[in-house]
Amino acid sequence: MLDLSHRLTDILQQRPSRISPLSGGCVGQVYRVDMPDGRRFVAKVDNSASAVLDKEGWMLRYLAAHSDLPAPEVIYSSPELLVMRFLPGGGVDRAAEIHAADLLASLHDISARAYGLQTDTLIGGLHQPNPWTESWIVFFRDQRLRFMARVAYDAGRLPARDLARIEKLAGRLERWLEEPPAPALIHGDVWSGNVLAQNGRITGFLDPAIYYADAEMELAFITLFHTFGDAFFRRYEERRGIRPGFWEIRRELYNLYPLLVHARLFGGGYVSSIQRTLARFGV
């Protein structure tokens, strides 16, 4: 803690009056930093040999430069240390869900020349490859399903039989997927722990895993972890529409990616969920 205090003093030009642990974060430790002049910050620290907190800082700065999505302002970033301005807030109520729908609809209106991003990013601390790809189906097949299935398998979290089933499904995606109207910028990790709200308004989306995707990837993820309810989806559909077939088919296919991420990180029941989805699609 003494080393962190010294680093923060150099960065913030004032010695913190208090540094206290916060819950959350897949990578390293997270602290709230209170300053004598009333300012508040959040510091993430990762002392591991594979630290990449600078990638999270890059994503937050990208969102700030390209969108109006409320997210923490980055004060300083390096592989080992990320310092952000503290955002107030707690859980999400119905009014905040409607605000979230407006914010994410606006985010998804931001487009690009192809799917992916100019750099690889992270999801839950895991590598997320983003080579520019003209076809969404090809990108989802190779950079999401095949890539993360192999990562989970190599870590001993996904059985060889299920890796083969993922490969079989990947070769048949054209049966169920279509090319979206346009690439959409997505946050990529919208679960309740990454959303702050206050007085019926969203105050911050945390821990992004951004890239340009089919916007339905975001919507599917939100249903997987029940981040928002009916009020969100009604408002989102008013703003951008939801294409036929999402609820019946594509939602489950798209959620294979976060399920593979969570299988790699945690194993257990997430593998069973993957197996049920594969059976649903006949592989």
Place of tokens 């800082």: 57
Cα–Cα distance, 229 to 94 (Å, whole number) = 8
Q: Is 102 among the residues known to form the active site?
A: no
Whole-number Å distance between alpha carbons of 151 and 260: 9
List 37, 109, 162, 189, catalytic entry: 189
Radius of gyration over every alpha carbon of the chain, rounded to an integer in angstroms:
19
Largest alpha-carbon pair distance within the chain?
Answer: 61
Rounded-to-integer distance, Cα 257 and Cα 266, Å: 14
User: What does the alpha-carbon distance between residue 86 and residue 72 come to, in Å, rounded to a whole number?
Assistant: 7
- Would you give the DSSP letter of residue 273? H
Q: Are 252 and 280 in contact (CB under 8 A)?
A: yes
Q: What angle do CA 168, 173, 179 make, to 5 degrees?
A: 160
Separation CA 31–CA 254 (nearest Å):
33
Q: Tell me phi and psi for residue 69, to 5 degrees.
A: -65, 125
Token pair recorded at residue 125? 């601390």
Catalytic residues: 189
